[in-house]
Amino acid sequence: MSETAENIKERKRAGRWAGFFYLAYIATFIFATYVQEHPVVWGDAAATANNIASAEFMYRIGFMAELLAAALFFLAAWSLYVLLSPVGKNTALLFLLLNAVGVAEQSQNTLMQIAALPLANGAAYLKVFSVPQLQAQALMFLHLKGAGFIVFNVAFALWLFPLAWLVIKSGFIPKILGMLLLLDGLCLLVWLVQMGLFPGYEKFTHPLFPVMFIAEFLFALWLLLVGARMRKPAASRLM
């Protein structure tokens, strides 16, 4: 059966919302990461604590922006679910659940960033600890947040594979974008293995980050500008 004009319109709308939320997530997450990392001097707890205390409002903006980014990412995933579930409902549900797990873990991980703030400020109820102890604990929480970044990206790496599969099979999104998403997922997994097993060798995986950014940026931009091609998805019964 051919698609109705209303079905095509709904698909294009879902695609454009997905592109909007995805691009908003990318921009917000980059901003949040920059703001949160700017005051951190990884080898100097005292300098880090002083930087946080002297720019507390910007520091708060940073972790609030990360929470906003997490929400935007889930909205992007939900819009993609609406767009791609006719191609394979169970596969679409799989990538939505993986995204939801990653978003939940990312939001929880932000707690480490928040916890460092009273330690850096030397809150009154923490006077039992010395200033150097508080500063060291603040930096420890930031290190824990970095470790959490590895954990929640496991889910974000895995969600790209069912997403890419549906994009390739859809017939209304260019296959090259699905292939780029597959490459994105593979690059992210390689980075996770390197960080988990071979810390200190980041120089070998840093070149993968532009590849990952380009894949997701082009995918989101295409969705925002086009939404979806005005043609019937390829017939497919997936999982």
> pLDDT for 77-122, tens place per residue?
999 999 999 999 999 999 999 999 999 999 999 999 999 999 998 8
Give the number of other CB atoms < 10 A from CB of residue 122: 16
Cα 169 to its chain centre, rounded Å, is 24
Instruction: State phi, psi for 131 to the nearest 5 degrees.
Output: -60, -50
Q: Residue 152 contacts by C-beta under 8 Å, 6 or more apart in sequence?
A: 102, 105, 106, 109
* pLDDT > 80? residue 239: no
Closest CA to 50 of 120, 112, 131, 118: 120
How far is residue 69's CA from residue 31's CA, in Å, rounded to a whole number? 9
pLDDT digits (tens, 9 = 90+) for 188-223: 999 999 999 998 898 899 999 999 999 999 999 999
Secondary structure (H, E, C), 86-133: CCCHHHHHHHHHHHHHHHHHHHHHHHHHHHHHHHHHCCHHHCCCCHHH
Amino acid at 85: S
Q: How many residues does the chain have?
A: 239
pTM of structure: 0.89
* Average pLDDT estimate for 141-160: 94
